[in-house]
A and B are shown apart, each in its own frame.
Chain A
Amino acid sequence: MTVTTPVLDPEEAKRLRDARIERVAKWLLPALVLVLLLVGWDRLVVWNEIPKYQLPGPLVVWEQLVKDWRMLFEALLVTLQITLMALAVAVIGGVGLAVLFNQSRFAEMSFYPYAVILQVTPVVSIAPLIFIYVENRTVGLLLCAWIVAFFPILANTTLGLNSTDHNLRDLFRIYGASRWQRLRYLQLPSALPYFLGGLRIAGGLSLIGAIVAEYVAGTGGIGSGLAFRILEASYRLNIPRMFAALLLIAVSGVIIFAGLSFLSHMLLRKWHESALKRET
C-alpha cells in the first residue's frame, strides 16, 4: 500500500480546523474584550459628561501617561527595583529555609510554625511597625515585600525536597551517597518544578508586597515608587495619573509572571511533564 498524499478524513479535518480556530481565538478574544471595554468606558464618560476628576476616559489616561512618562517611569523603576530585590531575597530565604528544614527535622519543628504565622499575618498590619524600627527605608520596603513573597517558595520547595522517588533514595543509599550528594543530585533537581511553581506566585506577591509597603511607608522620604505617586496624585485629585500609574503596575505584574513562566518552561522543557506538548 502506498500513500503519496496525506488523506484527511472528515474527523481529522475537523480536528485540524478546530485547533487552528483555537490558536487564533486565544489571542483574538481577549483583544476583542479589551477593545470593547475601552470603547464602552470611553462612551460612558463622553455620553454622561463625567468630569475627568471623577472618571477620566481611556484617552485622557493615555495622554496623562505620555505627559508624566518621565516621572512615572522613574517611579516604576524604583518599585521594580524593590520588587526584584525582594524576589531575589525571597528565593534565597525560601530555598535556604526549605533546605534547612529538610536537613534538620528539629529546625523544621522549631521554626516552621513561625514561618506560617509570618505568612498569615497581613503585611499591612506588620509594615507600620517595621518602618518604626527599621531606619533605612529601602530595607524596610524589602523586608515587607520579602515577608509576603518568601512563603510560597518555602512551602513549595519543602514539598519538592520531600517528594523524591523512594527507589532513587534507596539507590543513593546503596551507592553510599553523602547528605550533600543526595541534596545536590537528587533532592534539588526533584524540587525544581515545585520551586518554579512557587517562584511564579512569589513574583506577583513581591510586587504586591512592594506596593503595599510603599503605601505604608507613606510620602516621607526619598526614592518614590509608583504607590507613592498614586497616593500623591490622589491628594491632588489627579485621577488620570492614578489610572496611568495603575496601568504601569498591572503591566509590570503581567511581565513578571510571563518572564517567570518562560524561565520555568526553559528549565523544564526537556524532561518535566508540565512542559511537554501532548501529542493527540
Chain B
Amino acid sequence: MPTLPKRMTDLIHRQILPLGERQKLLQLQQVGKVFNGGVTALHDMSLAVQEGDFISLLGPSGCGKSTALRLIAGLSTPTSGRISWEGGKGAGDLGVVFQEPTLMPWATVAQNVFLPFRLRGKSFAEVKPEIDEALDLVGLSKFADTYPRQLSGGMKMRVSIARALVTNPRLILMDEPFAALDEITRHKLNTDLLSLRERIGCTVIFVTHSVFESVFLSDRIIVMAARPGRVIEEVQVTAPYPRDEVFRTSADYAAHCQVASAALHRAMGEAA
C-alpha cells in the first residue's frame, strides 16, 4: 500500500502472491490424533499451507477442525504424522484468536495487546510503536487505555485480533472467532479482517462452520467430515481480493457458496 501513514512501517508488510506462486510455510503430513479413549478426532490430514493463504477449515461439529488448529498451535501433539514449519518455528511466528475474545480483564486494551511481547521479555516502551499500529489496524487507537469490560463484543474481538497480529506472525489461527457475534458485527469484522490482510499480508487458517463466511473470506476452503474427522476436499475461491459488500451480493459469490455448500453436503452425507 503506497499511502500508509508513516508509523505503519513497524510491522512488516508482506505481499500476497497469486495462489499458484506462493512460498511454502507449513506442511501437515498425514496428521492424525486419537484421544485416549480411542476416539479418532482427526484422521490422516495432509495440508500444505503457503504464505499468503487464507484457508478456511469448514465442516460440521466433530470434524476435527478445532483439533487440527490445536495441533498446529502446538497445544497438543499428533498421534501420527508430522507438522513441519518451513525454516523452523520461531517465537512470535504464531498468532491465535479464539472463539472468545480471551482478554485479561484486569489489563487495559494496550496491555492486553502487549502480552505476546511481555512474555518474550520485552518492555512496553520498546514495542509501543507495534502496539499502537496493531490497535490502529483494528481501529481501536482511541481505546488503548480502556478496560475490556467497557468494550462491546465486536470491539473485544478486535483487541484479540490486534494481539494476534502484533508480533507480525507468519501464521494466524482463528477458531470461529466471530461465531458468537451478531450478524451485522460479524459482516463488518469479516470485511475489516480482509482489508487488514490486504495491508499486512498475513497468512490465516480460519475455522468456521459457515459456508458463507468461508467463501467470503478465504481463497482455499478445506471441507472436512466427521467421525472420524478428516479432509474431504478442497474448494478454491478464485474471486480476487479486495472483496467487499459488493462481492457479498454478487453472482460469483453465490456460485462459490453453492460449490462449497455442495461439498459440505457430500461431507455430511459421507459422515451419516
Contact = CB atoms under 8 A, between A and B. Distances in A.
Interface string A24-59: 000000000000000000000000000000000000
From B98, B106, B116, residue with most partner A Cβ within 10 Å: B106
Contacts of B94: 174
Contacts of A186: 104
Contacts of A271: 105-106, 147-149
Interface residues of B, number: 21
Nearest to B70: A170
Given A174-B73, A174-B75, A272 B105 contact: yes
A273 B94 CA distance: 32
A168 B102 contact: yes
Contacts of B91: 175-176
B24 interface: no
A171 B104 CA distance: 11
A220 B81 CA distance: 76
A229 B116 CA distance: 59
Contacts of A177: 119
A176 B102 contact: no
A197 B83 CA distance: 46
A176 B120 CA distance: 8
A181 B119 contact: yes
Nearest to A182: B119
A276 B105 CA distance: 13
Contacts of B105: 271-272
B119 A176 contact: yes
A177 B120 CA distance: 8
Nearest to A273: B149
B100 interface: yes
B75 A173 contact: yes
A122 interface: no
Contacts of B106: 189, 192, 270-272
B96 interface: yes
B68 to A, nearest CB: 15
A270 B104 CA distance: 12
Nearest to A267: B106
A188 B100 CA distance: 21
Contacts of A272: 105-106
B120 A171 contact: no
A175 B120 contact: yes
B100 A167 contact: yes
Interface string A184-223: 0110010010000000000000000000000000000000
A175 B102 contact: no
Interface string A239-280: 000000000000000000000000000000011110010000
A112 interface: no
A62 interface: no
A271 to B, nearest CB: 5
A73 interface: no
Interface of B: 73-75, 91, 94, 96, 98, 100, 102, 104-107, 115-116, 118-120, 147-149
Given A167-B102, A270-B106, 6 more contacts: A165-B100, A168-B104, A170-B96, A174-B74, A271-B105, A272-B105
Across chains A and B, which 7 residue pairs bring their CB atoms closest together, nearest first? A167-B102, A175-B119, A189-B106, A167-B98, A177-B119, A271-B105, A271-B106
6 contacts: A174-B73, A175-B91, A175-B119, A176-B119, A181-B118, A185-B119
